[in-house]
Amino acid sequence: MKVLVAMSGGVDSSVAALLLREQGHDIVGVTMRLWGGESDTGCCSVSDVDDARRVAQQLDVDHLVFNFAEDFDAHVVDPYVRAHETGVTPNPCVECNRHLKFDRLLERADALGFDAVATGHHARITTDERGALRVTRGADMQKDQSYVVHMLHERALDRTLFPVGGLTKADVRSLASQHGLRTASKPDSQDVCFIQSTTGREGFLERRMTFNPAEVVDTDGRPAGHVAAVELVTVGQRRGLNLGGGDKRYVVDVDVVTRRVVVGGEEDLLTNITLVNQLSWPHTTDKPVAARQVLVQGSAHGARHEATIASAGDDVVSIEWKRPQRRIAPGQTVVFYDLADTHVVGGGIVTS
Protein backbone atom coordinates (compact mmCIF):
# COMPACT_ATOMS: atom_id res chain seq x y z
CA MET A 1 0.00 0.00 0.00
CA LYS A 2 1.22 3.50 -0.82
CA VAL A 3 1.10 5.58 2.37
CA LEU A 4 1.79 9.27 3.00
CA VAL A 5 3.15 9.51 6.55
CA ALA A 6 2.78 12.82 8.40
CA MET A 7 6.13 13.33 10.14
CA SER A 8 6.11 16.18 12.64
CA GLY A 9 9.68 15.68 13.81
CA GLY A 10 8.57 13.88 16.97
CA VAL A 11 9.22 10.34 18.13
CA ASP A 12 5.67 9.06 17.58
CA SER A 13 5.48 9.95 13.89
CA SER A 14 9.06 8.72 13.42
CA VAL A 15 8.13 5.30 14.76
CA ALA A 16 4.89 5.31 12.76
CA ALA A 17 7.00 5.63 9.61
CA LEU A 18 9.40 2.95 10.85
CA LEU A 19 6.61 0.45 11.50
CA LEU A 20 4.94 1.01 8.14
CA ARG A 21 8.23 0.60 6.31
CA GLU A 22 8.93 -2.64 8.20
CA GLN A 23 5.47 -3.88 7.25
CA GLY A 24 6.45 -3.51 3.61
CA HIS A 25 4.39 -0.47 2.66
CA ASP A 26 5.59 2.02 0.07
CA ILE A 27 5.87 5.14 2.25
CA VAL A 28 6.75 8.78 1.76
CA GLY A 29 7.20 11.10 4.72
CA VAL A 30 5.71 14.58 4.68
CA THR A 31 6.07 17.49 7.06
CA MET A 32 3.40 20.18 7.01
CA ARG A 33 4.65 23.75 7.30
CA LEU A 34 1.74 25.39 9.09
CA TRP A 35 2.82 28.40 11.08
CA GLY A 36 4.98 30.92 9.25
CA GLY A 37 5.63 33.22 12.20
CA GLU A 38 8.04 33.02 15.09
CA SER A 39 7.80 29.83 17.12
CA ASP A 40 9.74 28.30 19.98
CA THR A 41 7.10 25.77 21.07
CA GLY A 42 4.88 23.13 19.54
CA CYS A 43 5.61 21.27 16.32
CA CYS A 44 6.23 23.98 13.74
CA SER A 45 9.81 25.03 14.30
CA VAL A 46 12.61 24.77 11.74
CA SER A 47 14.33 22.16 13.92
CA ASP A 48 11.23 19.95 13.81
CA VAL A 49 11.24 19.96 10.01
CA ASP A 50 14.95 19.10 10.09
CA ASP A 51 14.37 16.25 12.55
CA ALA A 52 11.64 14.81 10.31
CA ARG A 53 13.85 15.05 7.24
CA ARG A 54 16.76 13.37 8.98
CA VAL A 55 14.61 10.51 10.29
CA ALA A 56 13.32 9.98 6.75
CA GLN A 57 16.96 9.77 5.62
CA GLN A 58 17.66 7.22 8.37
CA LEU A 59 14.73 5.14 7.14
CA ASP A 60 15.79 5.61 3.51
CA VAL A 61 12.43 7.04 2.43
CA ASP A 62 11.56 10.17 0.51
CA HIS A 63 10.55 13.26 2.47
CA LEU A 64 8.32 16.11 1.29
CA VAL A 65 7.32 19.43 2.82
CA PHE A 66 3.83 20.79 2.19
CA ASN A 67 3.24 24.48 2.85
CA PHE A 68 -0.25 24.80 4.31
CA ALA A 69 0.39 28.13 6.04
CA GLU A 70 -2.52 29.94 4.37
CA ASP A 71 -4.94 27.18 5.33
CA PHE A 72 -3.57 27.20 8.87
CA ASP A 73 -4.13 30.94 9.19
CA ALA A 74 -7.66 30.67 7.79
CA HIS A 75 -8.81 27.65 9.79
CA VAL A 76 -6.81 27.88 13.02
CA VAL A 77 -5.08 31.20 13.74
CA ASP A 78 -7.76 33.65 12.56
CA PRO A 79 -10.60 31.75 14.32
CA TYR A 80 -8.43 31.63 17.46
CA VAL A 81 -8.20 35.42 17.51
CA ARG A 82 -11.90 35.92 16.68
CA ALA A 83 -12.90 33.53 19.45
CA HIS A 84 -11.08 35.58 22.07
CA GLU A 85 -12.66 38.75 20.72
CA THR A 86 -16.09 37.25 21.45
CA GLY A 87 -15.21 35.80 24.85
CA VAL A 88 -14.87 32.19 23.67
CA THR A 89 -12.04 29.85 24.68
CA PRO A 90 -10.94 27.95 21.54
CA ASN A 91 -9.09 24.66 21.12
CA PRO A 92 -6.68 25.30 18.22
CA CYS A 93 -5.06 21.86 18.28
CA VAL A 94 -8.39 20.15 17.62
CA GLU A 95 -9.10 22.52 14.73
CA CYS A 96 -5.63 21.91 13.30
CA ASN A 97 -6.32 18.19 13.29
CA ARG A 98 -9.74 18.72 11.78
CA HIS A 99 -8.79 21.04 8.93
CA LEU A 100 -5.09 20.46 8.26
CA LYS A 101 -3.73 17.16 9.52
CA PHE A 102 -6.62 15.22 8.05
CA ASP A 103 -8.92 17.12 5.67
CA ARG A 104 -6.16 18.96 3.82
CA LEU A 105 -3.64 16.12 4.04
CA LEU A 106 -6.14 13.54 2.78
CA GLU A 107 -7.03 15.85 -0.08
CA ARG A 108 -3.38 16.18 -1.07
CA ALA A 109 -2.79 12.43 -0.66
CA ASP A 110 -5.68 11.70 -3.03
CA ALA A 111 -4.30 14.13 -5.60
CA LEU A 112 -0.89 12.42 -5.45
CA GLY A 113 -2.28 8.89 -5.72
CA PHE A 114 -1.66 7.62 -2.18
CA ASP A 115 -3.88 4.88 -0.76
CA ALA A 116 -3.80 6.17 2.82
CA VAL A 117 -2.31 8.67 5.23
CA ALA A 118 -0.71 7.81 8.56
CA THR A 119 0.08 9.86 11.66
CA GLY A 120 1.72 9.24 15.03
CA HIS A 121 -1.44 9.76 17.07
CA HIS A 122 -1.99 7.45 20.04
CA ALA A 123 -5.40 6.23 18.90
CA ARG A 124 -6.72 3.18 17.12
CA ILE A 125 -9.22 2.46 14.38
CA THR A 126 -11.40 -0.56 15.03
CA THR A 127 -14.53 -2.14 13.63
CA ASP A 128 -17.62 -2.32 15.82
CA GLU A 129 -20.24 -5.08 15.97
CA ARG A 130 -22.05 -3.54 12.98
CA GLY A 131 -18.91 -3.49 10.87
CA ALA A 132 -18.50 0.28 11.16
CA LEU A 133 -15.07 1.87 11.60
CA ARG A 134 -14.53 3.67 14.90
CA VAL A 135 -11.94 5.93 16.50
CA THR A 136 -10.91 3.94 19.57
CA ARG A 137 -8.74 4.90 22.52
CA GLY A 138 -5.03 4.24 22.23
CA ALA A 139 -3.46 1.37 24.16
CA ASP A 140 -1.62 3.83 26.41
CA MET A 141 -4.40 5.61 28.29
CA GLN A 142 -1.93 8.16 29.66
CA LYS A 143 -1.12 9.23 26.09
CA ASP A 144 -4.47 8.52 24.42
CA GLN A 145 -5.25 11.08 21.70
CA SER A 146 -8.64 9.87 20.51
CA TYR A 147 -10.04 13.16 21.87
CA VAL A 148 -8.17 15.28 19.30
CA VAL A 149 -9.07 13.02 16.34
CA HIS A 150 -12.68 12.43 17.36
CA MET A 151 -14.01 14.29 14.29
CA LEU A 152 -12.86 11.68 11.78
CA HIS A 153 -15.80 10.18 9.90
CA GLU A 154 -15.88 6.72 8.40
CA ARG A 155 -14.78 7.85 4.92
CA ALA A 156 -11.63 9.37 6.45
CA LEU A 157 -11.05 6.43 8.78
CA ASP A 158 -11.07 4.07 5.82
CA ARG A 159 -7.95 5.86 4.50
CA THR A 160 -6.17 6.61 7.80
CA LEU A 161 -3.62 4.62 9.78
CA PHE A 162 -2.46 5.09 13.38
CA PRO A 163 0.55 2.72 13.54
CA VAL A 164 1.56 3.50 17.15
CA GLY A 165 -1.97 3.39 18.58
CA GLY A 166 -1.49 -0.11 19.92
CA LEU A 167 1.79 0.73 21.69
CA THR A 168 2.63 2.41 24.97
CA LYS A 169 4.80 5.51 24.87
CA ALA A 170 7.60 3.49 26.47
CA ASP A 171 7.31 0.96 23.62
CA VAL A 172 7.54 3.77 21.06
CA ARG A 173 10.68 5.24 22.60
CA SER A 174 12.22 1.80 22.93
CA LEU A 175 11.68 1.06 19.25
CA ALA A 176 13.10 4.44 18.27
CA SER A 177 16.15 3.80 20.43
CA GLN A 178 16.68 0.30 19.08
CA HIS A 179 16.73 1.65 15.54
CA GLY A 180 18.87 4.64 16.39
CA LEU A 181 16.31 7.25 15.41
CA ARG A 182 17.45 10.77 16.31
CA THR A 183 14.05 11.56 17.87
CA ALA A 184 14.15 8.67 20.38
CA SER A 185 14.59 10.88 23.44
CA LYS A 186 13.02 14.06 22.07
CA PRO A 187 10.48 15.53 24.54
CA ASP A 188 6.81 15.59 23.58
CA SER A 189 5.39 18.84 22.27
CA GLN A 190 2.94 20.28 24.80
CA ASP A 191 2.13 23.79 23.63
CA VAL A 192 0.23 25.62 20.91
CA CYS A 193 2.78 25.96 18.10
CA PHE A 194 2.09 29.61 17.27
CA ILE A 195 2.28 30.85 20.88
CA GLN A 196 5.82 31.75 21.92
CA SER A 197 6.83 30.71 25.42
CA THR A 198 8.43 34.13 26.01
CA THR A 199 5.32 36.19 25.26
CA GLY A 200 2.50 33.69 25.81
CA ARG A 201 -1.12 33.96 24.74
CA GLU A 202 -1.39 37.58 25.85
CA GLY A 203 1.59 38.67 23.80
CA PHE A 204 0.30 36.85 20.72
CA LEU A 205 -3.19 38.32 20.96
CA GLU A 206 -2.30 41.89 21.86
CA ARG A 207 -0.61 42.28 18.47
CA ARG A 208 -3.79 41.19 16.70
CA MET A 209 -6.67 42.67 18.68
CA THR A 210 -7.66 45.39 21.14
CA PHE A 211 -8.00 44.43 24.79
CA ASN A 212 -10.82 45.93 26.83
CA PRO A 213 -11.01 46.27 30.63
CA ALA A 214 -13.97 44.81 32.48
CA GLU A 215 -15.56 45.02 35.89
CA VAL A 216 -15.65 41.95 38.09
CA VAL A 217 -18.74 41.28 40.20
CA ASP A 218 -19.86 38.44 42.44
CA THR A 219 -22.95 36.36 41.79
CA ASP A 220 -25.07 38.94 43.61
CA GLY A 221 -23.79 41.70 41.36
CA ARG A 222 -21.56 43.33 43.98
CA PRO A 223 -18.26 44.86 42.73
CA ALA A 224 -15.26 42.60 43.27
CA GLY A 225 -12.55 44.21 41.15
CA HIS A 226 -11.43 44.76 37.57
CA VAL A 227 -9.49 42.92 34.87
CA ALA A 228 -7.37 44.61 32.23
CA ALA A 229 -8.53 42.41 29.34
CA VAL A 230 -11.92 40.71 29.38
CA GLU A 231 -10.89 38.85 26.22
CA LEU A 232 -8.28 36.88 28.17
CA VAL A 233 -10.65 35.68 30.89
CA THR A 234 -12.17 32.20 30.68
CA VAL A 235 -14.85 30.32 32.60
CA GLY A 236 -13.30 28.33 35.44
CA GLN A 237 -10.29 30.64 35.81
CA ARG A 238 -9.08 31.41 39.32
CA ARG A 239 -5.58 32.80 38.96
CA GLY A 240 -4.68 36.19 37.54
CA LEU A 241 -7.86 37.97 38.62
CA ASN A 242 -6.16 40.07 41.34
CA LEU A 243 -9.19 39.97 43.63
CA GLY A 244 -7.25 39.99 46.87
CA GLY A 245 -7.33 37.41 49.65
CA GLY A 246 -10.25 35.50 51.11
CA ASP A 247 -12.11 32.50 49.74
CA LYS A 248 -11.21 31.01 46.39
CA ARG A 249 -13.24 32.59 43.62
CA TYR A 250 -13.66 31.34 40.10
CA VAL A 251 -14.97 32.88 36.89
CA VAL A 252 -18.49 31.59 36.28
CA ASP A 253 -19.48 33.91 33.41
CA VAL A 254 -17.77 36.23 30.90
CA ASP A 255 -19.63 38.86 28.87
CA VAL A 256 -17.35 40.76 26.50
CA VAL A 257 -20.21 42.92 25.19
CA THR A 258 -21.03 44.43 28.58
CA ARG A 259 -17.42 43.98 29.75
CA ARG A 260 -18.48 42.12 32.84
CA VAL A 261 -16.96 39.10 34.58
CA VAL A 262 -18.88 37.19 37.24
CA VAL A 263 -17.01 35.27 39.93
CA GLY A 264 -18.26 32.87 42.55
CA GLY A 265 -17.33 29.96 44.77
CA GLU A 266 -16.56 26.48 43.55
CA GLU A 267 -20.21 25.52 44.01
CA ASP A 268 -21.23 28.29 41.59
CA LEU A 269 -19.21 26.59 38.85
CA LEU A 270 -21.38 23.48 38.98
CA THR A 271 -24.04 22.87 36.37
CA ASN A 272 -26.48 20.10 35.49
CA ILE A 273 -26.72 20.81 31.75
CA THR A 274 -24.22 21.82 29.05
CA LEU A 275 -25.16 22.75 25.48
CA VAL A 276 -22.98 21.62 22.58
CA ASN A 277 -23.05 22.60 18.91
CA GLN A 278 -20.80 22.25 15.81
CA LEU A 279 -21.29 18.53 16.17
CA SER A 280 -19.24 15.73 14.61
CA TRP A 281 -20.65 12.22 14.25
CA PRO A 282 -18.57 9.39 12.75
CA HIS A 283 -21.81 7.86 11.50
CA THR A 284 -25.27 9.34 10.96
CA THR A 285 -26.68 6.57 13.16
CA ASP A 286 -24.76 8.05 16.11
CA LYS A 287 -26.90 11.18 16.17
CA PRO A 288 -29.17 10.99 19.23
CA VAL A 289 -32.77 10.61 18.13
CA ALA A 290 -33.60 9.86 21.77
CA ALA A 291 -31.76 10.25 25.05
CA ARG A 292 -28.49 8.31 24.97
CA GLN A 293 -26.11 7.57 27.81
CA VAL A 294 -22.45 8.32 27.17
CA LEU A 295 -19.20 9.21 28.89
CA VAL A 296 -18.13 12.80 28.23
CA GLN A 297 -14.55 14.06 28.17
CA GLY A 298 -14.06 17.83 28.31
CA SER A 299 -10.31 18.20 27.72
CA ALA A 300 -7.49 16.32 26.02
CA HIS A 301 -6.61 14.24 29.09
CA GLY A 302 -9.55 15.08 31.32
CA ALA A 303 -11.69 12.75 33.38
CA ARG A 304 -14.76 11.15 31.84
CA HIS A 305 -18.17 11.74 33.38
CA GLU A 306 -21.41 9.93 32.75
CA ALA A 307 -24.18 11.90 31.11
CA THR A 308 -27.21 11.69 28.86
CA ILE A 309 -27.18 13.48 25.52
CA ALA A 310 -30.26 14.40 23.58
CA SER A 311 -31.10 16.58 20.60
CA ALA A 312 -31.85 20.17 21.59
CA GLY A 313 -32.51 21.61 18.13
CA ASP A 314 -30.70 21.95 14.83
CA ASP A 315 -27.05 20.94 15.32
CA VAL A 316 -27.31 21.29 19.10
CA VAL A 317 -27.39 18.66 21.83
CA SER A 318 -27.79 18.99 25.56
CA ILE A 319 -25.58 17.13 27.97
CA GLU A 320 -27.46 16.28 31.16
CA TRP A 321 -24.83 15.28 33.69
CA LYS A 322 -25.50 12.33 35.97
CA ARG A 323 -23.92 14.43 38.73
CA PRO A 324 -23.35 18.21 38.58
CA GLN A 325 -20.06 19.07 36.91
CA ARG A 326 -17.90 22.16 36.61
CA ARG A 327 -18.87 24.44 33.76
CA ILE A 328 -16.84 23.97 30.61
CA ALA A 329 -15.81 27.20 28.93
CA PRO A 330 -17.70 28.00 25.69
CA GLY A 331 -15.49 27.15 22.73
CA GLN A 332 -13.97 24.06 24.31
CA THR A 333 -14.29 20.64 22.74
CA VAL A 334 -16.22 17.80 24.37
CA VAL A 335 -16.10 14.24 23.10
CA PHE A 336 -18.68 11.52 23.69
CA TYR A 337 -17.57 7.93 24.30
CA ASP A 338 -19.55 4.73 24.71
CA LEU A 339 -20.17 3.62 28.30
CA ALA A 340 -17.35 1.09 28.04
CA ASP A 341 -15.04 4.11 27.52
CA THR A 342 -13.64 2.52 24.40
CA HIS A 343 -14.70 4.25 21.19
CA VAL A 344 -15.82 7.68 20.06
CA VAL A 345 -19.53 8.27 19.59
CA GLY A 346 -19.25 11.93 18.59
CA GLY A 347 -18.24 15.34 19.80
CA GLY A 348 -18.75 19.07 19.49
CA ILE A 349 -18.07 22.55 20.82
CA VAL A 350 -19.53 23.93 24.04
CA THR A 351 -21.81 26.88 23.39
CA SER A 352 -23.00 29.58 25.77
Tens of pLDDT, residue by residue over 219-247, are 999 999 999 999 999 999 998 888 876 78
CA distance 263 to 350: 20
Give the three-state DSSP class for 47: helix
Give the three-state DSSP class for 281: coil
Query: Which of 276, 304, 278 is CA-nearest to residue 151?
Result: 278
Each of the 352 residues of the chain gets a pLDDT tens digit; together they read 999 999 999 999 999 999 999 999 999 999 999 887 666 555 656 788 899 999 999 999 999 999 999 999 999 999 999 999 999 999 999 999 999 989 999 999 999 999 999 999 999 999 988 889 999 999 999 999 999 999 999 999 999 999 999 999 999 999 999 999 999 999 887 678 888 878 889 999 999 999 999 999 999 999 999 999 999 999 999 988 888 767 889 999 999 999 999 999 999 999 999 999 999 999 888 888 889 999 999 999 899 999 999 988 878 999 999 999 999 999 999 999 999 999 999 999 999 7
Domain 211-264 homologous superfamily, CATH: Adenine nucleotide alpha hydrolases-like domains (2.30.30.280)
Burial of 207 (0-12, 13-18, 19+ CB in 10 A): exposed
CA distance 218 to 91: 28
Residue 64 pairs in a beta bridge with 30
Cβ atoms 301, 344 nearer than 8 A: no
* Residue of 43, 44, 93, 193 with catalytic role: 193
pLDDT of the residue at 38: 66
Ranges of CATH 2.40.30.10 domains, the chain: 269-350
Active site residue 193: yes
Ranges of CATH 3.40.50.620 domains, the chain: 2-120+163-178
Burial of 325 (0-12, 13-18, 19+ CB in 10 A): buried
CA distance 230 to 90: 15
Q: Rounded to an integer, what is the distance from CA 349 to the centroid of its chain?
A: 11
* CATH number of this structure's domain 2-120+163-178: 3.40.50.620
CA distance 50 to 67: 15
Ranges of CATH 2.30.30.280 domains, the chain: 211-264
* CATH number of this structure's domain 269-350: 2.40.30.10
Residue 191 identity: D
Instruction: Give 312-350 pLDDT, tens digit per residue.
Output: 887 899 999 999 999 999 999 999 999 999 999 999 999
